[in-house]
Amino acid sequence: MLQRRTLLGQAGATLTTALLATGHSWAAPSPARAEGLNPSPFGEHPLLQPLRGWSDGQDRLAEGLRVQGRWPRELRGTLYRNGPGLLGRGGLRYRHWFDGDGLVQAWQLGPEALRHTARFVQTRKFSAEQEAGEFLVPAFGTLVPARRPVRGSDDMNTANTSVTVQGGRLYALWEGGSAHELDPQTLRTLGPKTWAPELRGMPFSAHPKREADGTLWNFGTFLGRLALYQIDAQGRLLRSRVLSLPTAAMVHDFVVTQRHLVFLLPPLGLDLEAARAGASMVSAMRWRADEAMRVVVIDKATLELQHTLEAPAGLVFHFGNAWDDGQGTIRLDYVQSDMDEFLSGRFNAVLEGAMAAHGAPSQARFMTLDLRQGRVSIAARSESTEFPQVDPRVVAQRYRYVYAPTQRGLADRWGFNAVQRLDLERGHTEVFDFGPDTVVEEHLLVPKPGSRREGEGWLLGTGFDARRQRSFAAVFDAEALSAGPLATVWLPYWVPLGFHGHFQRSA
């Protein structure tokens, strides 16, 4: 099953390192100087302060956290989170939020002894730059001249996107290269993870999917190829495979059903000429609006590409879930993002310290694939959401609820300020609005011990209160969201805004 020659030939060769190999000189003077590190000071808007990052690169620890409300007695464990925690060095700042170095947090939560730890992942990049006091290697959205050799994507790995725990081991994830293993207690970095010698340095995405039996599926994309991983509940690699995709595409997330793995390939290409001329990765991306979005369906049993369907062009970062009915129909949900927002630089304007307005909002989409007829249909909702989550017990199975941050009563304000539960059967939402001074991050569904019903659990997530200039974790009864948090845990500081997390229940 393992395609050894292909893996060895392509290991570590992501799109970025491919550019290096094709003669792209990261050290060349850029015709677009605005893509280089930003020398201007960060803005003072109180809502945007967590996007400054922690420029000292130092770890934080807080104990005896203040709890408002009543923490559920049976909810004990650690909420791990990850995100771009360091965005500036030596008075120069990255242009793009995705560029920052990974800062992993552990919120140790329970009725007592609440504690928060945050540590930067000691990637090769971070360690070298921390010592030098300046950025040394190229980033996704900022043109940084290489002052260190970049031989493979792990030389630029920021480990900044998500975290997961598999077989008792904690991993910081980044889609372009290796996962980094961390000590689950201390968050000390143990180093890049190699699942098999042939897979050294291969992309391992930040969005693995874990089925109810503990099986973990993941992927990585590079140069029009797709690496697939199946890992058992103990953390052992069961199978891997590298396939060719019908088109090269930026793929951030995917979904799993009982029988299939499903990928959406937006028509987002890379202009190699622009990249060679000195554009950053994000500026060299080109949207081919007249092309279809490919829907790639892979058979889990064989890891072979089984169907390729076409859907209208759309940019996708995140999925909620998917299931198949055993009769040739797959249903899935995802969030469609605004292409202009992503490519035009309005997205980056937030890092200029300005309160950027959204372009078109990111919105939920519901896709039905008829595999026998080769047809795709899509339904849409209009509210702005991102970072969708489902009950971990229904991953790859028929499901009813999707949980996501959303916006309520905001005009032209960046970020989310509310959380919602969408009931797919009834088509309505239940919402809690934190108010205009809060930025809400991803919220996870944690099942209550002994419960069997989907959605019977707590909704647990984090946010930032701009008036207090403090970050918090909030827990809701997931079946009574509009009643507000059962409890809120406050940090004595703010934490850089992050992307994704994982809750690990205490044994």
CB 49 within 8 A of CB 262: no
Taking the C-alpha atoms of residue 48 and residue 414, their distance in angstroms, rounded to an integer, is 9
Helix or strand run (H / E) with residue 109: strand 101-109
Whether residue 318 is annotated as binding a ligand: the answer is yes
Taking the C-alpha atoms of residue 86 and residue 84, their distance in angstroms, rounded to an integer, is 6
Radius of gyration of the chain from Cα atoms? 21
Q: Which residue has the tokens 């994982």?
A: 502
Six-digit token pair at 98?
Answer: 């995705």
**246 three-class SS:** coil
* Type of residue numbered 336: Q
29 burial level (CB within 10 Å; 0-12, 13-18, 19+):
exposed
Q: Which residue has the tokens 């599926």?
A: 217
Six-digit token pair at 91?
Answer: 């008075």
In sign, the C-alpha dihedral spanning 153, 155, 158, 159 is: positive
Q: How many other C-beta atoms are found inside a 10 Å radius of the C-beta of residue 39?
A: 9
Six-digit token pair at 79?
Answer: 């909420």
Whether residue 45 is annotated as binding a ligand: the answer is no
Q: Which residue has the tokens 């998500």?
A: 162
Residue 262: which residues within 8 A CB-CB, separation 6 or more? Answer: 254, 255, 256, 295, 296, 297, 298, 322, 330, 332, 369
- Residue 34 DSSP one-character state: G
CB 73 within 8 A of CB 109: no
- Residue 349 DSSP one-character state: H
Taking the C-alpha atoms of residue 461 and residue 391, their distance in angstroms, rounded to an integer, is 14
Whether residue 24 is annotated as binding a ligand: the answer is no
Pairing of strands 268-270, 260-265: unpaired
Burial code (b: 16+ CB inside 10 Å, e: under 16) for 152-166 equals: bbbbbbbbbbbbbbb
Alpha helices of 143-235 — where are they, by DSSP H? none
CA nearest to 238, candidates 263, 201, 211? 211
Helices (H) and strands (E) in the chain, counts: 6, 33
Whether residue 116 is annotated as binding a ligand: the answer is no
Query: Which residues participate in the annotated binding site?
Result: 207, 252, 318, 500
List residues forming the annotated binding site for Fe cation: 207, 252, 318, 500
